[in-house]
């Protein structure tokens, strides 16, 4: 297999993706053709099952967009199935220790480097070199989203086989006792982001995070300027809501400038 996202990151380039929580292949088809480098398919909080995930990844065929799945948990059985249906990497939730990071790596690799059972049904269907290349090409990402993870970040990112430390902004804020929305002016919270970037650089790893399009800290400009090289920008739900709201507001504005009944013969519905 060839992981275009991993190749891009190795070159020092910035990889831009978005989060997908809508379980339908049309969504991943549209987003993958727009030009995103990767899609964060969220099976932890999203409603999609394995069959739906497979269809979503199949719809990305023929593009340079890489499918990365966040499984329900850092569980080898779940991770194995996600990889077997075609994911080019995983984002393991709630990794807070070296041992949990090591478990994520083992789940992504065939023996003797790991414990992944062999049966890459769809992943290897048209790829005769899959077994020989998968251990090197699968992208293993850990979510840094607890106070404990920040305290143990050096041990976590030192693990051989971990490619990216990805900050989960909401759970990190909750774990720190700061509540939601995150307090971007809280020094302890901001220091955590800088610590992830610094430690990732130390171990030759990538720092990633989810971003928004606001003018506040935590936006995509803020993240890239701070040193994060793997980012997601907004999410599929927000795209629909924001686009629909903008269309409705424009239509309502146009309607407000028109007198009731204008354009119809009797002032009501046309006959």
Active site residues: 45
Helix pair 50-58, 25-34: axis angle to 10 deg: 30
Separation between Cα atoms, residue 205 and residue 221, nearest integer Å:
21
Closest CA to 209 of 178, 182, 243: 182
CA dihedral sign, ordered 5, 11, 16, 18:
positive
Per-residue CA distances from 240 to 103, 137, 235, 256 (Å): 36, 33, 9, 24
Q: Let me know the angle formed at the C-alpha of 111 by 106 and 116, rounded to the nearest 5 degrees.
A: 50
SS3 96: coil
Q: Residues for the chain: how many in total?
A: 271
Backbone angles phi, psi at 166, to 5 degrees: -110, 120
Separation between Cα atoms, residue 111 and residue 63, nearest integer Å:
31
Cis before 181? omega within 30? yes
Tell me the two tokens of residue 208: 């990633």
Helix pair 50-58, 76-84: axis angle to 10 deg: 30
Q: Give 91's strand partners.
A: 141
């Amino acid at each position: 297999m060839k992981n275009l996202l991993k190749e891009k990151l190795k070159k020092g380039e910035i990889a831009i993706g978005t989060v997908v929580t809508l379980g339908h292949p049309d969504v991943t088809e549209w987003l993958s053709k727009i030009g995103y480098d990767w899609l964060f398919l969220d099976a932890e909080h999203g409603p999609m099952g394995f069959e739906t995930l497979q269809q979503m990844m199949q719809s990305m065929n023929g593009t340079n967009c890489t499918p990365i799945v966040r499984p329900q948990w850092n569980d080898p059985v779940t991770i194995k199935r996600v990889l077997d249906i075609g994911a080019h990497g995983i984002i393991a939730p709630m990794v807070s220790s070296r041992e949990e990071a090591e478990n994520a790596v083992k789940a992504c690799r065939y023996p003797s480097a790991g414990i992944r059972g062999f049966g890459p049904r769809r992943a290897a269907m048209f790829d005769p070199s899959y077994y020989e290349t998968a251990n090197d090409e699968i992208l293993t990402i850990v979510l840094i989203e607890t106070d404990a993870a920040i305290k143990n970040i050096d041990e976590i990112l030192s693990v051989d086989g971990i490619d990216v430390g990805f900050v989960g902004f909401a759970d990190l804020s909750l774990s720190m006792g700061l509540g939601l929305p995150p307090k971007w002016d809280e020094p302890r919270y901001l220091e955590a982001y800088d610590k992830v970037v610094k430690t990732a650089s130390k171990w030759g790893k990538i720092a990633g995070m989810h971003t928004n399009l606001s003018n506040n800290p935590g936006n995509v400009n803020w993240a890239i300027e701070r040193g994060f090289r793997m980012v997601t920008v907004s999410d599929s739900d927000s795209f629909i809501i924001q686009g629909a709201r903008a269309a409705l507001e424009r239509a309502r504005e146009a309607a407000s400038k028109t007198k009731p009944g204008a354009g119809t013969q009797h002032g009501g519905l046309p006959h």
